[in-house]
Amino acid sequence: MPTQHEEDEAKIRQQIDRIVEGIRAKDLEGLKQLYATDVVSFDVEPPLQHVGIEAKLKNWRNVFTFFQDVTYEVRDLTLTVDENVAFGHCFGRLSGTLKNGTATSGMWVRATFCFRNIDGNWLIVHDQASVPFDIRSGKGVTDLKP
C-alpha cells in the first residue's frame, strides 16, 4: 500500500505529465487547470515576473502562435514533497515546427515548479524557466544540453 507521500508525489508527477500533454495539444484550458489563480511565473521572456493565471496563459498563447507543432520534453525531474507544499526541478525543452515550416530543436532551460495542495489538488503556485548566462558577454547561453 503506497504511503500518502508516495501518492502525493505520483499526483505531482502526473501534473508535470499534463503540462507536457497540454503543450503538445496546445490546450490552454487544460493548462489552466494546473495553475493556481495567483501563480507567479518567472518565465524566459520579459517582464521579470508574470502574475496570475491570465498572464501565465498569455505566455503559453504566445508560444502556440509561433509553433505549428510543439512538444515539451522534461528530463531529470526531482521532487521534494511535504503535506501541503512541494517543489521540483528539471530540465525542459520546447521544440517542434514553427509556423513558417522551420523545424527547431529548441533550447534546454532550467525549470523549477512549486506546488501547493489546494483543496486536494496539487497546483503550481510558482514556476521559473531560466538559461545560464556568460558573465563576460552578458548573453544567455542557449546551446547547453543536460
Q: How many Å apart are CA 29 and CA 21, to the nearest integer?
A: 12
Q: What's residue 63's pLDDT? A: 93
Other C-beta atoms closer than 10 Å to the C-beta of 107 total 17
Q: Is 90 exceeded by the pLDDT of residue 11?
A: yes
Average pLDDT, the chain: 95
Q: Does pLDDT of 133 surpass 90? A: no
Q: Which CATH number fits domain 4-131: 3.40.309.10, 2.60.40.420, 3.40.50.10260, 3.10.450.50?
A: 3.10.450.50
The structural domains of the chain, with segments of one domain joined by +, span 4-131
Residues 6+ apart with CB under 8 A from 34: 15, 18, 19, 22, 123, 124
Per-residue confidence (pLDDT) for residue 35, from 0 to 100: 98
Render pLDDT for 24-73 as a digit per residue (tens, 0 to 9).
999 999 999 999 999 999 998 889 999 999 999 999 999 999 999 999 99
